[in-house]
Amino acid sequence: MDKKNIDWASLNFTYIPTDYRYVSVYRDGAWDEGALITDPNVSINECAGALQYAQTCFEGLKVYTTSDGRIVAFRPDLNAQRMIVTAERLLMPPVSQERFLDALTKLVRANLAYVPPFGSGATLYIRPFLIGSGPIIGVAPSPEYTFRMFCSPVGPYFKDGIKPLRLQVSSYDRAAPKGTGHIKAGLNYAMSLFAGNEAKKNGFSENVFLDAATNTFVEETGGANFIFVTKDGTVVTPKSPSILPSITRRSLMYVAKELLGMKTEERPIPLKEISSFTEGGLCGTAAVISPIGSITTQEGEIFLPSGMEEMGPVTRMLYETLTGIQMGTIGAPEGWLYPIA
């Protein structure tokens, strides 16, 4: 199969429409069969729940070409499960794991020409989403839903690749303790735009959001979880009910503990503790692990000892092990690579 004529190495994290997308509609209490279509546009009623009351959610995962030429998805079962939790919280009909994985397989097999080759530095990003597509004018769940999944070849999320990032502590809250921070609702991202814009204007790559109740504990950024390394070499990550349970972060914590034999802790992390860490990173599907150079708080800029030029040694080891697993050069734990082609 011929690949599309794309300069894979120069891709950024931008949308490139591919030939096919998967769509399924939920009507009268049941999902239809689902099909691949070619139209990248969605046509819905002007009064759709998604358009009026933000009844939308999404997922994000990646597909890789391994060193031996297989096409695999990284832990898509966990994305399917997280989307079920999200859908239930937004009173949307969940898409079963079986349907989710079937859609993924069909979508990627139909768009094989867009799957970046091994070693190109690019991957195929998969974007499943679920929207209230039926009309509703009172504040209530939509009478009809659409599940779609499209894909786009992508490069690095942050334009400097793996250069350490400057972050600022946001003056806005991301998620309330009993709110929607733990699910992947579109509304979480809509309301993060203002804070994100402020961070960019101030010359930072991202915001550090603190817990909304006390503003003293580190939570996550607008699109990634945190990991940090303590002086004694323990990999720590924030624990909070209002953080999105990142699949990348859960995988990294497993890699650190089970494959690299490191000490790991998931616990509340006070902002005050940041200055004692030796390294830090943002972790997520899009971000992979992007190293943190500094975090600016009200008291000034805290530089992590790993510096502003390179990833710290622990972050690098985690990055290389995780990406090695994803690309098939390091043996994957059972069930982590989902075979597609």
154 binds ligand PLP (CB under 6 A): no
- Closest by Cα among 3, 1, 39 to 19: 39
Q: What is the DSSP string of 82-119?
A: HHHHHHHHTT-PPPPHHHHHHHHHHHHHHTGGGSPPTT
Catalytic residue among 3, 159, 163, 184: 184
Specify the DSSP class assigned to residue 272. Answer: G
Q: Which position among 123, 170, 237, 285 is part of the footprint of ligand COI (CB under 6 A)?
A: 285
Q: Out of 55, 111, 248, 306, point to the residue binding ligand PLP (CB under 6 A).
A: 248
Total site size for ligand PLP, rule CB under 6 A: 12
- Smallest distance from ligand PLP to CB 79, Å: 7
Query: Which residues 49-68 are close enough to bind ligand COI by CB under 6 A?
Result: 60
CA separation for the pair 49, 54 (Å, rounded): 6
CB count within 10 Å of CB 298 equals 8
Report phi then psi at 256, rounded to 5: -60, -45
Do 12 and 156 meet the contact criterion of CB atoms below 8 Å apart?
A: yes
- 187, containing H or E segment: helix 186-190
Among 281, 284, 291, 312, binds ligand COI (CB under 6 A): 284
Is 163 considered catalytic here?
no
Told to check if 286 binds ligand COI by CB under 6 A, we report: yes
Q: Does 130 bind ligand PLP (CB under 6 A)?
A: no
Whole-angstrom distance, CA of residue 73 vs CA of residue 92? 25
Of residues 272 through 331, those in contact with ligand PLP by CB under 6 A are 284-285
- Residue 223 found at the interface with ligand PLP (CB under 6 A): yes
Question: Which residue from 93, 164, 186, 223 is in contact with ligand COI, where contact means CB under 6 A?
Answer: 223
CB of 69 to ligand PLP, least distance (A): 25
Nearer to ligand PLP, 246 or 306 (CB): 246
Find the angle CA(52)-CA(56)-CA(58) to the nearest 5 degrees: 160
* Nearest Cα to Cα of residue 209 among 185, 163, 243, 166: 243
Part in contact with ligand COI (CB under 6 A); list of ranges 39-47, 99-107, 145-153, 280-288: 280-288
196 binds ligand COI (CB under 6 A): no
Residue with tokens 């997520």: 284
* Least Cβ distance, residue 60 to ligand COI (angstroms): 2
Nearest to 184, CA basis, from 59, 17, 318: 59
The contact pattern for ligand COI, residues 287-326, with x = CB under 6 A and - = no contact, is: ----------------------------------------
219 touches ligand PLP (CB under 6 A): no
DSSP secondary structure letters along 110-157: HTGGGSPPTTSS-EEEEEEEEEE-SB--SSS--S-EEEEEEEEEE--S
Residues 188, 183: Cα–Cα separation, whole Å:
9
* 246 binds ligand PLP per the rule CB under 6 A: yes
Q: Which stretch binds ligand PLP (CB under 6 A): 97-105, 137-145, 221-229, 273-281?
A: 221-229
Residue ranges that bind ligand COI, judged by CB under 6 A: 60, 223, 284-286
Q: Which residues are catalytic?
A: 184
User: Which positions lie near ligand PLP, rule CB under 6 A?
Assistant: 60, 220, 223-225, 244, 246-249, 284-285
